[in-house]
Amino acid sequence: MSSVQVIQIGPLAPHLNSLLQQQYGAVALWEQDDALTWLQENGADARVIVTSARNGCSAAVIDALPQLQAIVSFGVGYDSIALDAARARGIQVSNTPDVLNDCVADLAFGLLMDASRRIAQGDRFVRDGRWLNGAFPLTTRVSGKRLGILGLGRIGEKVARRAEGFDMQIAYHNRRPRDGAPWRYESDLLALAAWCDYLVVTCVGGPETEGLVSREVIEAIGPKGILVNVSRGSVIDEDAMVQALENGSLGGAGLDVFRDEPRVPPALTRLDQVVLAPHMASGTVETRGAMQALMLDNLRVFLDTGKVLTPVL
């Protein structure tokens, strides 16, 4: 087994698993009884790890592969990959950016719309036969409201473009202003939260942003404000958010990501002002196909040239 060149950390779509095995001889690490022992015994010549934003790649895996040169990941997020360990070894890391921007932004705006207009709640209201007993409560208009974006990257920009179609006022918070961005920059996240009607979280995950949407930020959004997250669950103080939703100090939320997926705080499932999605922002046929193609291109080009196409490192 010392001739293994490609190791796959965790499962992807079944047809993609088969393709990786048949074309590249990829070994399914998740099928091994003891993954680290298997790597130490069989990974001496492995050059590439194939993984995903969900499955990641630990420092222990990197340390077990002396010839590892690239980590090719399916997904835009890379906070689950031990970047410091990869950087120390000069290992390239690639992701699949840009191809999922539109679909993630679509879902972010869909969650915003749903949390405001209570579409999912209205669906339950009709299905349960409650309409026969009276009218549905009034909801909140979206058009013309104030939108704050935490993390004006590629996805955040797409959200802002969609908000322009709703005549919304737009401001954003980054570590620094983004060159050429036509929207107002707010250097203080707390001030942005106090100003906006909606705070949409589209920043990267990882240690640098963990808990960035703190209890204070959540309270600043206020009892009429709505928090939307399509980034990572770790960015929000989830306990503080749940408490604020329960006591009414936060008006509502639209959430596609959670701190301990797929486990969701039970309290959230009981709240009508919260819209829950199962980390599905990039989950369209078109986007997943484009992500798979780009991941395979990164793998193929690296094996041919020694350089990935879309490097994170």
Domain architecture of the chain: domains with CATH: 6-99+286-305 (3.40.50.720), 101-276 (3.40.50.720)
261 classed as catalytic: yes
Three-class SS of residue 252? strand
pTM value is 0.93
Going by C-alpha positions, the residue among 161, 137, 167, 134 that lies closest to residue 149 is 161
3-state secondary structure 242-310: HHHHHHCCCCEEEECCCCECCECCHHHHCCCCEEECCCCCCCCHHHHHHHHHHHHHHHHHHHHHCCCCC
Task: Tell me the one-letter amino acid at 159.
Answer: V
Strands (E), the chain: 6-8, 27-28, 48-52, 70-74, 92-94, 146-150, 169-173, 184-185, 198-201, 226-229, 252-255, 274-276
200 in helix, strand or coil? strand
Whether residue 15 lies in the annotated active site: no
Query: Is 6 strand, coil or helix?
Result: strand
Which listed residue (89, 178, 279, 300) is catalytic?
Answer: 279
Whose tokens are 């050059």? That residue is 47
Distance CA 42, CA 138 (A): 63
Q: Which of 261, 263, 270, 286 is catalytic?
A: 261
Give me the average pLDDT of each 10-residue run along the chain (313 residues): 84 96 96 95 95 96 97 95 97 97 98 98 98 97 98 97 98 96 98 98 95 98 98 98 98 98 97 97 96 98 97 92
Q: Which amino acid is at 45?
A: D
Residues 65-92: b if buried by 16+ CB within 10 A, e if exposed: beebbbbbbbbbbbbbbbbebbeeeebb
- From 118, 162, 173, 232, active-site residue: 232
Report pLDDT for 1: 43
Cis omega (within 30 of 0) on the bond before 311?
no
